[in-house]
Amino acid sequence: MANVRMSQPGTPATTQPNYMKVFIQRDYSEGTSVKFQNRFPPELESRIDRHTFESTMNKLNEYFAEAEKGSCSTYCEGCLACITAYLIYICTETHYEKCLRKVSKYIAMQNERVYNPKGLQITDPVYRGLRVIEISILDRPGRT
Amino acid sequence: MPKCDVKTRYIPATFAWTLLLSTTFLFFWYPCRQFYIQRHPWVPAYQAVITFFVIANFTLATFMDPGVIPKAPPDEDREDEFRAPLYKNAEINGITVRMKWCVTCKFYRPPRCSHCSVCNHCIETFDHHCPWVNNCIGRRNYRFFFFFLISLSVHMLSIFSLSLVYVLQKEKDKLTEVEPIVAMILMAIVTLLAIPIFGLTGFHMVLVSRGRTTNEQVTGKFKGGYNPFSRGCWNNCCYTQCGPQYPSLLKPQKYVARRSNKENQSISTITNDGGPGGGDPAGSGRRHMPTGGPGGPGTQQQQQQQQALNQGGGIYDNNRHTQVKTYMDHGNGHGIRTVGSSHYSK
């Protein structure tokens, strides 16, 4: 369920006070794996079309699914880490961290190309502890 | 009062570290040095490997972020804090699970998350707060805690049996010497700790195979029922031990993508050309435009950057003839690069 809230200054996505925000919550239907709901919030009805929004959410969910998947490479990463007394964690990024970078890059690109021109800004969920995706409506100040 | 709490928090962990390091040291210094190193050198080597794993896993279980979920910022969705229901339901694999509102952290706790009053944080997939490592055990460090228990059990069995062998092979009249006495003390310590440690190890082996946390087991959450988080015994074991390492969320700036103007456009290595009339077609190399590559914005930024460089940004001497070499990254991070014109001048 998406919720709307007035913002306060000091968030990573905004430099001006009182943007209206829409929150996309996590979808826990498949367990604790990171996945976000792709239901279209009514507040964005006039700003962006449903298909664009859903494709963004689906792409993000794909990235997170890839991050959460256990595979041969994560097993090897774990073994190598164990053998090197986990010092390898200082030198390289884990599989999940690489996926988070991909997510960050994708969100930055989507913001630049699709959402900012429509007066919206997506905040990377990593800034919210991977609990919500925050979409700020930039040309719609909230009430003080 | 707070001072008192801080001190008492560290006592069990200090005790655990001291006990582990001192017994290991005593084992290496007395039975190993006296007996094994001459006759069976593989024993100290093998014991050193086990000690290495015990200490590495203990260190990570102690110092690693267990999966702290940062507190919600003030502007997040919590206006209804006073009127919102205490619990919110979520359906997971057909089972309804309750998510409780955390008053301290200001969000509905995700499933399997619990708030630790000692650490004062919500922890992802909270297992328990372990006083012996002075840290919570959660999603990120559970595997290290589990491997620590297993390696410690092996370490204890190994020390016990090697000390026993050492004592048994000693002549009866030499049993009052320092080395055999130390070996017997080590055996006594291991015997005392065997039941709690082996018991805890066995308990966690069962938990891992069932896909449960200590918190869920102790509070009887799935008693007699179906655990929606279980993926089957084999997959539970695999995922706990071999699954992806969940990232720390305390410093999200670490995961921000590198700035797009570096990845979607050319990156000039040296900025300047020579004076007027440069004397060199290399001058034009500096204005080389990328061939292909993504997007309008990237190209525009690249042109702006080129112009800024043309104007002689700060640190380079305008009078020097310098090399110009232009690289372009196609922005997908896979390092496909094409070299622009690369003329050199003095």
A36 in a structural domain: no
Gap between the Cα atoms of A102 and B190, Å rounded: 49
Number of domains chain A is built from: 1
pLDDT of residue B322: 44
Question: Averaged over B94-108, what is the pLDDT?
Answer: 89
B294 in a structural domain: no
CB-based contact (8 Å) between A117 and chain B? Answer: no
Same domain, B80 and B35: no
Same domain, B60 and B172: yes
Contact map slice: B 209-228 vs A, CB within 8 A: 228
Chain B interface test: which of A72, A116, A127 (most B C-beta within 10 Å): A127
Let me know: does B307 contact B256? Beta carbons within 8 Å.
Answer: no
Gap between the Cα atoms of A130 and A107, Å rounded: 14
B38 in a structural domain: yes
CB-based contact (8 Å) between A6 and chain B? Answer: yes
Same domain, B93 and B223: no
DSSP B87-138: EEEEEETTEEEEEEEETTTTEEPPTT-EEETTTTEEETT--EEETTTTEEE-
Let me know: does A10 contact A131? Beta carbons within 8 Å.
Answer: no
How far does the CA of residue A126 sit from the closest CA of chain B (Å)? 6
B2 in a structural domain: no
pLDDT in tens, B143-200: 999 999 999 999 999 999 999 999 998 888 888 888 889 999 999 999 999 999 999 9
Same domain, B230 and B191: yes
CB-based contact (8 Å) between A33 and chain B? Answer: no
Structural domain harbouring B119: 74-123
Residue of A nearest to B237 (CA): A70
A67 in a structural domain: yes
Number of domains chain B is built from: 2
Same domain, B46 and B101: no
Residue B263 has pLDDT above 80, yes or no: no
pLDDT of residue B284: 40
Q: How many Å is the Cα radius of gyration of chain B?
A: 31
Same domain, B117 and B150: no
B105 in active site: no
Let me know: does B273 contact B283? Beta carbons within 8 Å.
Answer: yes
Same domain, B119 and B211: no
pLDDT of residue B336: 36
CB-based contact (8 Å) between B229 and chain A? Answer: yes
How far does the CA of residue A8 sit from the closest CA of chain B (Å)? 5
Same domain, B94 and B194: no
pLDDT in tens, A33-89: 899 998 899 888 888 999 999 999 999 999 999 999 878 888 888 888 888 888 889
Alpha helix ranges (H) inside B126-245: 142-169, 178-210, 214-218, 233-242
Predicted complex ipTM exceeds 0.90: no
Amino acid at residue number A2: A
A27 in a structural domain: no
- With CB atoms and an 8 Å threshold, state whether A94 touches B257: no
Q: How confident is the model at residue B311 (pLDDT cuts 50, 70, 90)?
A: very low
pLDDT of residue B83: 61
Structural domain harbouring A85: 51-73+80-143
Let me know: does B272 contact B317? Beta carbons within 8 Å.
Answer: yes
B311 in a structural domain: no
Q: How confident is the model at residue B268 (pLDDT cuts 50, 70, 90)?
A: very low
pLDDT of residue B281: 42
Q: How many Å is the Cα radius of gyration of chain A?
A: 17
- With CB atoms and an 8 Å threshold, state whether A29 touches B228: no
Chain centroid offset of residue A105 CA? 10
A134 in a structural domain: yes
Same domain, B34 and B83: no
**Which one, of A16, A32, A57, lies nearest residue B243 by Cα?**
A32
The b-or-e profile of A51-69 (16+ CB within 10 A means b, else e) is eebeebbeebbebbebbbe
Alpha helix ranges (H) inside B249-295: 260-263, 282-285
Residue A116's SS3 state is: helix
CB-based contact (8 Å) between B296 and chain A? Answer: no
Residue of B nearest to A19 (CA): B75
pTM summary value: 0.77
Length of chain A: 144
A64 in a structural domain: yes
**Which one, of B178, B192, B172, lies nearest residue B31 by Cα?**
B178
B304 in a structural domain: no
Question: Averaged over B36-59, what is the pLDDT?
Answer: 91
Task: Find chain B residues with C-beta within 8 A of A131's C-beta.
Answer: 69, 72, 107, 110
Q: Final residue of a domain: which of B224, B242, B260?
A: B242
A18 in a structural domain: no
Q: Final residue of a domain: which of B242, B273, B295?
A: B242
Task: Tell me which of B96 and B305 has the higher pLDDT.
Answer: B96
Task: Tell me which of B254 and A115 has the higher pLDDT.
Answer: A115
